[in-house]
Amino acid sequence: MTDLIRSLVLCLSVMCTISSWCAHASDFPNKPIKIIVPFAPGGSNDVVMRLLAPSLSEELGQSVIVENRPGGGATIGMDIVAKSKPDGYTLGVANTSFGANPFVISKMPFDTQKDLSPVCLVGKVPLVVIVNPQFPVRSIKELIEYAKKNPEVINYGSAGNASAPHLAGALFEYSTGTKLTHIPYKSGGEATAAILGNITQLQFAAVPSAIQQIRSNRLIPLAVTTLDRDESLPEVPTVDQSGVKDFDMSDWIGIVVPAGTPDIVIKRLNEAFVKALTKPENRASLTKAGARPIGSSPEELKNLINKELNTWQKVVKAANIKVN
């Protein structure tokens, strides 16, 4: 009989907790919301969130604060999100490194799939394959031929190990059977300075960071890394169109929340992001910043993350990319 009473008390306690939780969820939001960007200020993830924050505040009726928590290959900020209360008031910005980190970092502080839930794919930032004008290739086909004849001779720079440009280079090697030499720098600016000085010959750069150097003919574009051409470089083919079938790589930007966040809260957040991303002024600002606005369902972001995990598990292993 005692066990029965204990079971009844436990059930009542759980029901009361769920009832209270649902009441709070239906009242969401009733206080400011924080978006954690796991990178330093000024990058594409940070810029996109700060552009959207005013519209999100308007849609949700509460202040939306963007907070930068860089470090650990984006794991420090995301760990804070993963360990936050699952109430919808702490959001995290996930990107390409989110899908690669489980295979790059030996001791992850959180489980990418179990500890975080998807909300919305905000947008994608395409990359462009660029070369120094002194480097004697002018197409992806010529690049592949040169790389196969001269393995590990071509240097390509990036903003650091496991950064999106580094991963793009690793994916290119994996897809083409070539071997390049990766040189990590402390920032994208240093990587660009290196290719301008012909210290490196090749770079997989975010379109916004490379566009001015391309237009001034200081760097030569070979192809963009997405399946469709970029409107800011309409004359530049894609890697796929250049012969590397199905090559598709971009630095995507998504929103996640702690696992256990109520569906009603995720739905509310998703609606706010989608509405903010449909505003013409926001779409224009994001496009100008080099991002392609999307606004997906949580399920679509979940599918993208699963696809990314599958891709980077193979590529990271093949390239032996490690970050201690």
pLDDT of 21 above 70: no
Q: Which amino acid is at 55?
A: S
6 pLDDT tier (thresholds 50, 70, 90): low
Domain boundary among 183, 206, 224: 224
- Region of poorest pLDDT, from 3-7, 100-104, 258-262: 3-7
> Does a structural domain hold residue 168?
yes
Is 158:90 a contact under the CB 8 Å cutoff?
Answer: no
Do residues 57 and 103 share a domain? yes
Distance of CA 67 to the CA centre of its chain: 17
Do residues 101 and 141 share a domain? no
Q: Averaged over 112-130, what is the pLDDT?
A: 96
Please enumerate in sequence order all residues whose Cβ is within 8 A of that of 170, keeping only pairs 6 or more positions apart, or say none: 182, 315, 316, 318, 319, 321
Do residues 51 and 134 share a domain? no
> Does a structural domain hold residue 271?
yes
> Does a structural domain hold residue 49?
yes
> Does a structural domain hold residue 99?
yes
Domain boundary among 208, 224, 240: 224
Rounded CA separation 291/309 (Å): 22
> What CATH number has the domain bearing residue 218?
3.40.190.10
153 pLDDT tier (thresholds 50, 70, 90): very high
Rounded CA separation 10/16 (Å): 10
User: Angle 217-222-227 (CA atoms, 0-180°, nearest 5)?
Assistant: 130
Do residues 160 and 196 share a domain? yes
Is 82:116 a contact under the CB 8 Å cutoff?
Answer: yes
Q: Averaged over 27-55, what is the pLDDT?
A: 92
Q: What is the pTM of this model?
A: 0.84
Is 323:71 a contact under the CB 8 Å cutoff?
Answer: no
pLDDT at 232: 87
Rounded CA separation 249/307 (Å): 12
pLDDT at 72: 86
> Does a structural domain hold residue 83?
yes
Do residues 168 and 218 share a domain? yes
Percent helix, strand, coil in the chain, to 5, is 45, 20, 35
Do residues 135 and 203 share a domain? yes
Parallel, antiparallel or unpaired: strands 116-131 and 220-224:
antiparallel
Do residues 112 and 154 share a domain? no
pLDDT of 35 above 80: yes
Q: Averaged over 198-216, what is the pLDDT?
A: 92
Q: How far is CA 14 from CA 9, 21, 64, 204, in A?
A: 9, 10, 32, 52
Rounded CA separation 74/79 (Å): 9
pLDDT of 14 above 70: no
pLDDT of 1 above 80: no
Do residues 133 and 218 share a domain? yes
- 11 exposure class (CB count in 10 Å sphere: 0-12, 13-18, 19+): exposed
> What CATH number has the domain bearing residue 285?
3.40.190.150
Do residues 119 and 162 share a domain? no
Please enumerate in sequence order all residues whose Cβ is within 8 A of that of 192, keeping only pairs 6 or more positions apart, or say none: 157, 203, 205, 209, 210, 213
- Report how many domains make up the chain: 2
Rounded CA separation 261/234 (Å): 42
Q: Kindly report the backbone phi and psi dihedral angles of residue 182, in degrees, each rounded to the nearest multiple of 5, phi listed first.
A: -85, 135
Which sign, positive or negative, has the C-alpha torsion 113, 308, 279, 205? positive
> Does a structural domain hold residue 19?
no
Q: Which domain does 260 fall in, by range?
A: 27-124+251-319
Do residues 74 and 101 share a domain? yes
Q: How far is CA 205 from CA 19, 60, 139, 199, 293, in A?
A: 50, 35, 16, 16, 19
Please enumerate in sequence order all residues whose Cβ is within 8 A of that of 61, keeping only pairs 6 or more positions apart, or say none: 29
Do residues 134 and 89 share a domain? no
> Does a structural domain hold residue 20?
no
Do residues 78 and 102 share a domain? yes
> Does a structural domain hold residue 181?
yes
